[in-house]
Structure 1
Amino acid sequence: MRELYHRLYRKLAVLALLLALGQPLLAQEAAKRITLMQYVMQERPVLAELVTKAGLTPVLSGDAPYTILAPPEAELAKLKDLPPVRIRAVLLGHILEGVFQEKDFKDGATLETLAHTSITVCRKKDYTLIDGLRISGDKAQAKNGVVHSLSGKLNL
């Protein structure tokens, strides 16, 4: 009887381990089914408010691929009182056309934002800088792009 309990316990332990290992994969797959706008609405409320005020909801809800270089929420909160046209310009300066994983940012590259401004990439051994701002390890994958967290707001 004791041996039966040990075998059952081992099987349950293996099953629990497999389920635990599968959770990150399930979360990643679920994330790939939501749009950038849905992600922003769920995880970045200040950014969502600004995107809506700037009229950029259709851009982040569509099928076209984009990369958002998202400043911290505290930095974005400082923009709330600006006119929608100015908010739109700032936000477009933080969005790239296409999907860029951090490894895709090449040292010395100059990239054009949707605001038609240029940003410069600087690769270090363990991290990436965009116009001097560090990309943090936080990133979110969506079905129409990716969101990278920045250490601050780009100067546009």
Structure 2
Amino acid sequence: MLFASTHTQAQGQATLMEQLIKDRPVLVELVTAAGLVPVLSGDSPHTLLAPPESALTGLKGESPEKLRRILSGHILKGKYTEKDFKDGAQVKTISGESLHICRKQGHTLINGVRIVQADTELSNGVLHSMSDALKI
């Protein structure tokens, strides 16, 4: 017998964590080790600036504290679509770091790292795929 989920998903959309499980195994492993699964699977909206898997493989085996510090610097409280990132603006991560936004030649850069796939809207936030890990 199947049990109905107690959480209803907005328009059938996955959570940030469910989306990562589909195609980001290295990021899922690191987020889990860092203890950030509740942040990315909860009801509060967040924006994830997801580095490519290739930029994360070197972090395997790091301490949970270091992983939490690094990955928290890639998560913003609230939903931010690419158009919300205004040139010259600063946004704060959940770790309290300030990230600098730069818009040039049709691209959005966050701390000098380009958004390569923007605005994957999910039930509890927005996922932006980045060209590299953020320099914080």
- 1:45 offset after TM fit, Å? 0.8
Q: Does 1:67 align with 2:86?
A: no
Q: Deviations over 1:46-88 (max 9, x none)?
A: 1111111111111111100000001110111111121011001
Aligned to 1:112: 92
1:145 is matched by which residue type in structure 2? G
Structure-1 separation of matches of 2:10 and 2:78: 21
What residue is the counterpart of 1:56 in the other structure? 36
Determine which structure has the larger helix proportion and give its number.
1
Q: State the distance in 1 between where 2:93 and 2:77 align.
A: 7
**Structure 2: distance between partners of 1:101 and 1:123:** 14
Unaligned runs of 5+ in 1: 1-28
Q: Normalised by the size of structure 2, how large is the TM-score?
A: 0.88
- How far is the alpha carbon of 1:139 from its aligned partner? 4.1
How far residue 32 of structure 1 moved from its aligned partner, in angstroms, is 5.2
Highest Rg: 1 or 2? 1
- SS across alignment from 1:108: coil
Give the deviation of 1:120 after TM superposition: 0.2
Gapped regions of structure 2 (runs ≥ 5): 1-8
Give the alignment partner of residue 116 of structure 2, picking from 130, 136, 141: 136
* Residues in 1 aligned to 2:30 and 2:133: alpha-carbon distance in whole angstroms: 14
Distance 2:37 2:100 in 1: 26
Q: SS of the residue aligned with 2:38?
A: helix
* Fraction of identical pairs, as percent: 51
Who is 2:17 aligned against?
37
Report the number of matched residues.
128
- Cross-structure match for 2:27: 47
- Match for 2:105 among 96, 102, 125? 125
TM-score by length of 1: 0.77
Note the aligned Cα RMSD (angstroms): 1.7
Distance in 1 between residues matched to 2:62 and 2:124, nearest whole Å? 28
Q: Does 1:102 align with 2:66?
A: no
Q: Secondary structure at the match of 2:44?
A: coil
Secondary structure of 2:127's aligned partner: strand
Corresponding residue SS for 2:22: helix
